[in-house]
Structure 1
Amino acid sequence: MKKLIILAVIGLCAQLVDGSLGMAYGVTSTSLLLLFGIAPAAASASVHLAEVVTTAASGISHIRFGNVDKNIVKRLLIPGSVGAFIGAIFLGSIPGDIIKPYISLFLLGLGCFVIYRFLFKKVDVKEKKQPDFNKKFFIPLGFIAGFFDSTGGGGWGPITTPVLLSKNNIETRKVVGSVDTSEFAISVSATIGFLFSLGWGEINFIWVFALMIGGIIAAPIAAWLVKIIPSHLLGVLVGGMIILTNVRTLLLTINVSSSAMLAIYSILFVLWISGVIYVVKKLKKYKVQY
């Protein structure tokens, strides 16, 4: 029972971060299940089954709070679903860990760009124009993000969120809300793929239920936070999460010692908090309401 309560709390915290920053539910939950000794494929399958419910709750919440651009969701659905299904089918045979560091390096660069853009760009109080993205932009983005989401137990948010944030003509809250809402279809496709390749026997339904409960509780709270947090502050928060997540992957790849990792994390965390404080002061200067 104690383990289930811990899982529910982790599911709540993971969804709170995921729903408000557009990433982290899959990565956090999968990492926890791996610590408990579940095989990678089974862990990813359990997390994606839980996400079918948590992403549905998150998507409904974001829609109600007006955080969703329906055109972005529609364009991400098909390529993302195809990528997630293929990734789930071939999880056992595709060396995703070999490619993952290169993806992390790319995302680390995007994370730095996102923070730079929201830290030093002038605060614009005008409403942004409707984004106009070419279909060719969404097909590879959705497919790659969906594929790595299945093979790595998380990747839809960490890949799609920073790429969309690198564009200037879309609100930060619309990026987070659209990414979270479209993730429902990706979770369904990945789950179907896992059922084909693994079967029901590999999924721990008790653990899945615990993760679901925590995620359902957190979903509306996270959507509300996205609604009220100013775009510049939300962008810096997202950028910091992108950097910390991908630095961890790169440091583990090159086998950096635990003491060195702690020192690097500490420096990055202090810089991140300093950036948040700087943006808060800038927003007060321009009298942006929370």
Structure 2
Amino acid sequence: MPDLATFDFTQIWPFILIGFAAQVVDGALGMAFGVISNTALLWIGVPPAAASAGVHTVETFTTAVSGISHVLHRNVNWRLFLRLMIPGVIGGVLGAYVLSNISAATAKPFILAYLSGIGVYLLFRALRHPPQAKEPKIVEPLGLAGGFLDAAGGGGWGPVVTSNLLVQGAMPRTTIGTVNTAEFFLTATISATFIAQLGWAAVTVATLGLLIGGVAAAPFGAMLAKKVPARTLLIMVGVILIVTSLFGLWRALAG
């Protein structure tokens, strides 16, 4: 943990700004905190292990505040929440503790390519066919898969679950709010052992900055999800999904 007696607070501002920007996007669109934070931290020279540890630790707190904000703004469909949260937690536990025959590194390019295609479809649907509310039919398997991929691959709950629910016709505002709220329970479950093992070693300058910025931004993301029209939200989700997935695919193939 940083020594507050000798701590230079100018060091923390870039991380606060990164955390704030990433959480505004994540809270408003139901995805991308991990992708944006990890990418930005790597770009400014944070070692990959430290970046991953910091982001996972911070997400436990930001998802809690984001979930509360979405509840207060009435962005949560509680029936959908229960259908997502329970299998999501089960999938998260399986992803964290069960070894798979296919490594995350092998599966990741295929998942990212799939999500890029989903992003293109959502963008096309928003521009050509204004969203019409439909009750999503495939929910529990989606929560299970999203939780597993989030734990095994280091991220994926928001992109996988939010995008696929939107494809099925779920309303953007309540989908985003519900997925964000359910994510707290998933993240807390996955991170419990991780935090216990690392202790104070997980609390770095980067972690503190992301935490401060992310928590401060959480109410704004929920507010945007409530105020922005459904069609605009769908377009924004499609664009973010395409950009982040293609960038991740490029990194996975180049690496």
Q: TM-score, normalised by structure 1?
A: 0.76
Q: Is the 8 A contact 1:86 1:193 kept in 2?
A: no
Q: Distance in 2 between matches of 1:176 and 1:75?
A: 15
Distance 1:253 1:154, change over 3 A: closer
Q: Percent of aligned positions with the same letter in both sequences?
A: 38
Q: Is the 8 A contact 2:32 2:158 kept in 1?
A: yes
Q: Is the 8 A contact 1:88 1:193 kept in 2?
A: no
Structure 1 vs Structure 2 CA RMSD: 2.6
Unpaired stretches in structure 2, ≥5 consecutive residues: 1-8
The CA deviation at 1:53 is 1.3
Q: Secondary structure at the match of 2:15?
A: helix
Q: Secondary structure at the match of 1:80?
A: helix
Structure 2 partner of 1:223? 222
Q: Distance in 2 between matches of 1:47 and 1:94?
A: 25
Q: Distance in 1 between matches of 2:139 and 2:130?
A: 28
Aligned residue among 33, 47, 53 for 1:38: 47
Structure 2 partner of 1:116? 124
Q: Distance in 2 between matches of 1:132 and 1:243?
A: 22
Q: Is the 8 A contact 1:43 1:153 kept in 2?
A: no
Q: Is the 8 A contact 2:131 2:230 kept in 1?
A: no
**Mapping of residues 1-12 of structure 1, within 5 Å:** 1-12=9-20
Structure 2 partner of 1:157? 158
* Aligned amino acid, residue 238 of structure 2: G
Q: Is the 8 A contact 2:131 2:171 kept in 1?
A: no
Q: Is the 8 A contact 1:88 1:191 kept in 2?
A: no
For 1:198-257, what per-residue CA distance to the aligned partner results, in whole angstroms no more than 9, with x for missing partners? Answer: 54265235432321111111111111111111101110010111111111122234439x
Q: Distance in 1 between matches of 2:113 and 2:80?
A: 25
Distance 1:54 1:176, change over 3 A: same
Q: Is the 8 A contact 2:55 2:207 kept in 1?
A: yes
**Mapping of residues 19-58 of structure 1, within 5 Å:** 19-35=27-43, 36-40=45-49, 43-58=51-66
The CA deviation at 1:38 is 3.3
Q: Is the 8 A contact 1:4 1:210 kept in 2?
A: yes
Q: Of the two, which has the highest radius of gyration?
A: 1
Q: Is the 8 A contact 1:65 1:224 kept in 2?
A: yes
**Mapping of residues 120-269 of structure 1, within 5 Å:** 120-122=128-130, 128=133, 131=135, 133=137, 137-168=138-169, 170-195=170-195, 198-200=197-199, 202-255=201-254
Q: Secondary structure at the match of 1:68?
A: coil
Aligned residues between the structures: 246
Q: Is the 8 A contact 1:82 1:189 kept in 2?
A: no
Q: Distance in 1 between matches of 2:151 and 2:10?
A: 28
Structure 2 partner of 1:262? none
Higher relative contact order (CA 8 A, sep 6+): 2
The CA deviation at 1:154 is 2.4
Q: Distance in 2 between matches of 1:216 and 1:180?
A: 14
Q: TM-score, normalised by structure 2?
A: 0.86
Distance 1:213 1:238, change over 3 A: same
* Aligned amino acid, residue 47 of structure 2: I
Structure 1 partner of 2:3? none
* Aligned amino acid, residue 28 of structure 2: S
Q: Secondary structure at the match of 2:139?
A: helix
Q: Is the 8 A contact 1:88 1:194 kept in 2?
A: no
* Aligned amino acid, residue 220 of structure 2: I
Q: Is the 8 A contact 2:130 2:231 kept in 1?
A: no
**Mapping of residues 61-76 of structure 1, within 5 Å:** 61-76=69-84
